[in-house]
Copies of this chain bind each other. A is one copy, B any other.
Amino acid sequence: MKALVYHGPGRKALEDRPKPEIRASSDAIVKMVKTTICGTDLHILKGDVPTCTAGRILGHEGVGIVDAVGAGVTAFKPGDHVLISCISSCGKCEYCRRGMYSHCTTGGWILGNEIDGTQAEYVRIPHADTSLYPIPNGADEEALVMLSDILPTGFECGVLNGKVAPGSTVAIVGSGPIGLAALLTAQFYSPAEIIMIDLDDNRLGLARQFGATQTVNSKDGKAADAVKTLTGGRGVDTAIEAVGVPATFLLCEDLVAPGGVIANIGVHGQKVDLHLERLWAHNIAITTRLVDTVTTPMLLKTVQSKKIDPTRLITHHFKLDKILDAYDTFGRAAETHALKVIIAA
């Protein structure tokens, strides 16, 4: 079968690989229908993710059709249309029972990382009963690709951890795909203000279309002042970090009001300065989270009931045999204005 294979930092290829087989009784083999590329895949290609070694098929998102199941799988059978979660969870370990699927002792984020992933014609899914979701009849399958990772990540790490509430004020630092996913799902809770902050005016324009009530271009280094002005000097109840570098986290420290939350989504490569000499008395919380995908059933219901339209995040379409073009388009997002690209198997 065709698969996009990582060959070490900076190197990838579309090549032929054997079709995966059932290894454990809880496995399923899924024939991919649509997948996509994540910012994390670009991190892997930069060599930032040491758990992902050369020879790995990339990809941890997508929808497909069950091709085969192990003896212990009871919730799915061949032919079922399924949504693949980026997080594999056994449903049995201490962490899974607490709803922390991200820290499953035999799962977590392993797809397209420690085991072969979804940018291929077939993928093996461990712990299938608790890592796949049935696709309702008549659902827009392309929309559901956004539920593998990006929407639960924006929602769980940003919106839920950030305690967004009716009438509250929210700032989202970073208007890329994940910041926009937080923007879309924040609106489930009817905050009074969502202020979107980025360096790129095009992305800020998009943010306004997606529901931001205010946008701030931070290239002048005065974003904190601008937000203070917009909030009557208070700062925001929720500051969502959706970039992953020290400067944007520091901006969140400046934005958050007393009693507020800094909800980190960004994947950070280095430490940041935490200004406790000021914040110790501000009654704030800072949260971190690798998405658990515990809200996937909830998000499916919001999509089915049309409370959210995930297809707004999709900008480009490719066939699997053109996946190198898809990577190119996604990697030059500032020029191509790509958000999420769909790759059809």
Contact = CB atoms under 8 A, between A and B. Distances in A.
Interface of A: 25-26, 71-72, 74-75, 90-92, 94-100, 102-103, 129-130, 165-168, 187-190, 192-193, 213, 244, 249, 258-259, 264, 266-277, 279-290, 292, 294, 297-302, 304-305, 307-308
Nearest to A160: B166
B94 A91 contact: no
Given A99-B99, A192-B304, A285-B285, 5 more contacts: A25-B71, A264-B276, A276-B288, A283-B289, A286-B287
Say whether chain A's binding surface is mostly helix, strand, loop, or mixed: loop
Contacts of A292: 283
Contacts of A26: 72, 74
Contact of A299 (B167, B270, B272): B167
Contacts of A276: 249, 264, 268, 270-272, 288
Nearest to A281: B290
B288 A287 contact: no
Of listed A274, A277, A304, residue having the most chain B CB within 10 A? A274
How many copies the complex holds: the figure is 4
7 contacts: A25-B25, A97-B294, A166-B189, A167-B299, A268-B280, A272-B273, A272-B274
Contacts of A25: 25, 71-72
A283 B100 contact: yes
Contacts of A258: 95, 100, 103
B280 A103 contact: no
Contacts of A92: 74-75, 91, 129-130
Contacts of A102: 281, 283
Nearest to A92: B129
A166 B154 CA distance: 15
Contact of A288 (B75, B264, B267, B282): B282
Contacts of A270: 276-277
